[in-house]
């Protein structure tokens, strides 16, 4: 009898074991949830004990240390120098915010607010942040789009003027500092009106505009980059017509850039296929070749020094820059010689003369450097776009090449505003102009489809 009982249990045991096995197959594991960081405790004081960095400027990433900040970024307000700082993250004992503009006083206040935005606690840092006004790269015009398909080219007021394409040349109207022109290879020639704060498209009926320059009496010279020996390459738009009346200047195939001598007024331009520099005299109408470029069939441009003493011949496609001195007697530029870079060797290196490396240098601009005043001689630095290095480089009169802006954080291309070398990034900067009035640079950042600005924060 006893035995029988046992056996029954045995049978059930087996069935239970099977059941257990089956259940095993269904089991699954659960993930643990992370513990929530401590939230704000109204009974405790809010404390700001320390912060880093101690010195910085607009958009510096600041970390605050302390206690009882809570864990909800929307309930924490930080002001630095009386300005609201964006709070990125908060973890009760630490907080990350972005230093706002004009935080000159540097006093740091942390305010905890309730759900209605009413202040319930505050803490002030003992020491103050040292706010330095510094030079920054910022976005001047154009919409940054996250997707290619959202990009539009359109006229409109600043803030709603679409994008810019293939900005090959930037220039200011020498007689109207509130008009900047952008030669866009596609999308027409754009006029940026600082007064009306409006971007419009200038109707020139010319495609592939490669450069815009100005005669000494203020007429506009447009070059058209085409591949015909028998077509007009350079046009003139007279100022008195409001740049509406167009005159043919001369033939020109593959004109990559024009330049007007700032003293004598004659025009020079570079030709792609022929690989030479042409001189055109507006008075006589004589067109002549003054020298041959070392390479034909390459992109190169000529930019004349404001004194007219020399010009830089930027060998875009061969990654180096030459200098050609002006012979004031013959009123002609002479055979050029190397200033920086190495012919045919693309690369990225700061240095003097041929030890520097460039990668597709493009438009450049001369800017007076007050530091040179004491020593006399050439007073101008040459800032140019180093397109495929995604940087703005600076060439000093002594032939030293430095990186002025871009490639932030050891990077290459990208889109970031901020500190010139630590943060800022460009993507194919092609054109640059210096605004004497506002003391800043504008950069045609082609592959970000934007016009960027380099200058001191306002």
Partner 1 sequence: MKNFLLTCLLFLGLAANAMAQEEVTVKGVVTDTNGEPLIGVNISVKNMPGLGTITDVDGKYSLKVTTFSTLVFSYVGFETEEVLVKDQRVINMTLKESVTQLIDELVVTATGPQEKITVTGAITNVDVEELKANPTTSVANSLAGVVPGIMAMQKSGRPGSVSEFWIRSISTFGASNAALVLVDGFERDLNEINVEDIESFSVLKDASATAIYGSKGANGVILINTRRGKEGKINISAKMEGFYNRFTQFPEFVDGYTYASMANEAKITRNQEPLYQPEELEIFRLGLDPDLYPNVDWMDVMLRDGAWSSRATLNMSGGGSTARYFISGSYQDQQGMYKTDKSLREYNTNANFKKYTYRMNLDMDITKTTLLKVGISGSLRKQDDPGVGSTAIWTALMGYNSIMVPVLYSDGKVPAYGDDGGDRFNPWVQATMTGFNESWQNNIQTNVTLDQNLDFITKGLRFIGRYGYDTNNSNWINRKKNPELWRAKRYRTLEGELIFERVVPERKMTQDSGSEGDRREFFEWEMHYNRRFRDHRIGGVVKYNQAAKIQTQQIGSDLKNGVSRRNQGLAGRVSYNWRLRYFIDFNFGYTGSENFHKDNRFGFFPAVSGAWNITGEPFMKEVKWVNMLKLRYSHGKTGNDNLGGIRFPYLYTIESMVDSDGNPTGGYQFADFNFDRYYGGMRYSSLASPNVSWEIATKQDLGLDFSLLGDKLSGAVDYFRERRDGIYMTRNYLPWMVGLESNPSANVGIVKAQGFDGNFTLKQDLGQVNLTLRGNITYSKNEIVERDEENTVYWYKMQEGHRVDQARGLVDLGLFKDYEEIRNSPRQTYGEVMPGDIKYKDINGDGVINDDDRVAIGATTRPNLTYGFGTSARWKGLNVSLHFQGVGKSTYFIDGSTVYMFSLGDGWGNVLKDMAESNRWISAEISGDPATEDPNADYPRLTYGNNSNNNRQSTFWLRNGSYIRLKTVDIGYTLPKAMVNRAHFNEVRIFFIGTNLLTWSGFKLWDPEMGSSHGKNYPLSKTLSLGVAINL
Stretch that binds partner 1, among 26-34, 204-212, 363-371, 374-382 (CB under 8 A): 26-34
Distance of CA 143 to the CA centre of its chain: 13
Q: Which two tokens stand for residue 24?
A: 């095993």
Which CB, 94 or 208, lies closer to partner 1? 94
Among 46, 48, 62, 451, binds partner 1 (CB under 8 A): 62
Query: Would you count residue 130 as binding partner 1 (CB under 8 A)?
Result: no
- For residue 120, state whether it binds partner 1 (rule: CB under 8 A): no
Among 25, 230, 374, 437, binds partner 1 (CB under 8 A): 25
Among 11, 285, 370, 374, binds partner 1 (CB under 8 A): 11
How many Å apart are CA 411 and CA 388, to the nearest integer? 13
Task: By CB under 8 A, tell whether 144 contacts partner 1.
Answer: yes
Instruction: Report in angstroms how near the CB of residue 81 gets to partner 1 at its nearest.
Output: 15
Among 2, 6, 118, 284, binds partner 1 (CB under 8 A): 6
Please answer whether residues 51 and 129 qualify as being in contact, where contact means their C-beta atoms are separated by less than 8 angstroms: yes
- Opening angle at CA 150, ends 146 and 151, nearest 5: 95
- For residues 276, 218, 369, 386, the Cα torsion angle rounded to the nearest 10 degrees is -40
Q: What is the DSSP letter of 358?
A: B
Q: Give, as ranges, the residues between 373 and 412 that touch partner 1 (CB under 8 A).
A: 408-411
Applying CB under 8 A, what is the total number of residues that bind partner 1? Answer: 58
Which residues touch 394 (CB under 8 Å, ≥6 apart)? 381, 382, 383, 401, 402, 403, 404
State the Cα–Cα distance between residues 196 and 161, nearest whole angstrom: 13
Q: Is residue 283 within 8 Å of 306, Cβ to Cβ?
A: no
Q: Which two tokens stand for residue 12?
A: 């059930």
Question: In the set 425, 430, 442, 444, which binds partner 1 (CB under 8 A)?
Answer: 425
Q: Is 63 in the site for partner 1 (CB under 8 A)?
A: yes
User: Is 138 an interacting residue with respect to partner 1 (CB under 8 A)?
Assistant: yes
| Paired tokens of 176 | 């109207």
Give the one residue of 48, 90, 340, 432 binding partner 1; rule: CB under 8 A: 90
**Between 132 and 309, CB nearer to partner 1:** 132
- What element of type H or E holds 20? helix 2-26
Choose between 60 and 213: whose C-beta lies nearer to partner 1.
60
Burial class (CB in 10 A: 0-12, 13-18, 19+), 63: middle
Q: State which residue, 102 or 253, has the beta carbon closest to partner 1.
A: 102
Buried b or exposed e, range 202-221, using 16+ CB within 10 angstroms: bebebebbbbbbbbeeebbb
Report in angstroms how near the CB of residue 69 gets to partner 1 at its nearest.
11
Place of tokens 């197959």: 25
Stretch that binds partner 1, among 134-142, 215-223, 357-365, 380-388 (CB under 8 A): 134-142
Q: Which is nearer to partner 1, 98 or 287 (CB)?
A: 98
Closer to partner 1 by Cβ: residue 88 or 286:
88
CB of 165 to partner 1, least distance (A): 18
Among 48, 97, 180, 302, binds partner 1 (CB under 8 A): 97
What H or E segment, with its residue span, contains residue 254? none
Question: Tokens at residue 280, please?
Answer: 């055109």
CA atoms of 353 and 317, how far apart (whole Å): 18
Q: Which residues bind partner 1 (CB under 8 A)?
A: 3-4, 6-8, 10-11, 14-15, 17-18, 21-22, 24-29, 52-53, 58-63, 85-86, 88-91, 94-98, 101, 136, 138-139, 144, 146-148, 408-411, 414-418, 422-423, 425
């Amino acid at each position: 009898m006893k035995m029988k009982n046992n056996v029954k249990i045995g049978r059930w045991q087996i069935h239970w074991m099977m059941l257990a096995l089956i259940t095993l197959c269904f089991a699954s594991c659960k993930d643990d949830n992370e513990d929530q960081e401590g939230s704000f405790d109204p009974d405790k004081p809010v404390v700001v004990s320390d912060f880093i960095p101690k010195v910085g400027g607009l958009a510096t990433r600041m970390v605050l240390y302390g206690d009882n900040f809570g864990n909800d970024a929307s309930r924490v307000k930080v002001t630095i120098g009386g300005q609201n700082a964006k709070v990125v993250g908060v973890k009760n004992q630490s907080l990350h915010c972005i230093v706002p503009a004009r935080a000159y006083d540097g006093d740091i206040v942390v305010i905890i607010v309730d759900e209605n935005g009413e202040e319930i606690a505050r803490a002030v840092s003992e020491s103050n942040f040292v706010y330095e006004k510094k030079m920054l790269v910022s976005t001047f015009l154009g919409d940054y789009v996250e997707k290619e398909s959202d990009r539009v080219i359109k006229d409109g007021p600043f803030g709603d003027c679409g994008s810019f394409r293939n900005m090959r040349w930037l220039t200011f109207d020498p007689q109207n500092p509130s008009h900047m022109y952008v030669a866009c290879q596609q999308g027409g020639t754009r006029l940026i009106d600082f007064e009306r704060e409006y971007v419009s498209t200038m109707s020139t009926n010319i495609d592939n505009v490669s450069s815009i320059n100005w005669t000494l009496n203020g007429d506009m010279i447009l070059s058209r980059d085409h591949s015909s020996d028998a077509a007009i390459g350079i046009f003139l738009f007279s100022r008195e017509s409001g740049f509406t009346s167009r005159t043919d200047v001369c033939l020109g195939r593959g004109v990559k850039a024009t330049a007007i001598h700032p003293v004598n007024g004659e025009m020079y331009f570079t030709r792609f296929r022929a690989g030479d520099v042409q001189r055109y005299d507006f008075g006589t109408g004589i067109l002549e070749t003054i020298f041959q470029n070392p390479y034909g069939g390459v992109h190169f441009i000529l930019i004349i020094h404001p004194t007219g003493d020399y010009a830089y011949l930027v060998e875009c496609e061969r990654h180096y820059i030459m200098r050609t001195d002006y012979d004031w007697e013959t009123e002609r530029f002479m055979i050029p010689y190397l200033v920086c870079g190495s012919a045919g060797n693309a690369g990225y290196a700061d240095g003097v003369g041929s030890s520097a490396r460039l990668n597709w240098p493009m438009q450049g601009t001369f800017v007076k450097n007050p530091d040179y005043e004491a020593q006399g001689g050439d007073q101008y630095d040459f800032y140019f776009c180093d397109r495929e290095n995604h940087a703005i480089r600076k060439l000093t009169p002594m032939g030293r090449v430095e990186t002025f802006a871009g490639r932030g954080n050891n990077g290459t291309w990208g889109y970031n505003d901020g500190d010139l070398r630590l943060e800022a990034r460009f993507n194919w900067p092609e054109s640059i102009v210096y605004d004497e009035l506002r003391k800043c640079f504008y950069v045609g950042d082609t592959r970000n489809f934007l016009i960027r600005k380099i200058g001191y924060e306002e």
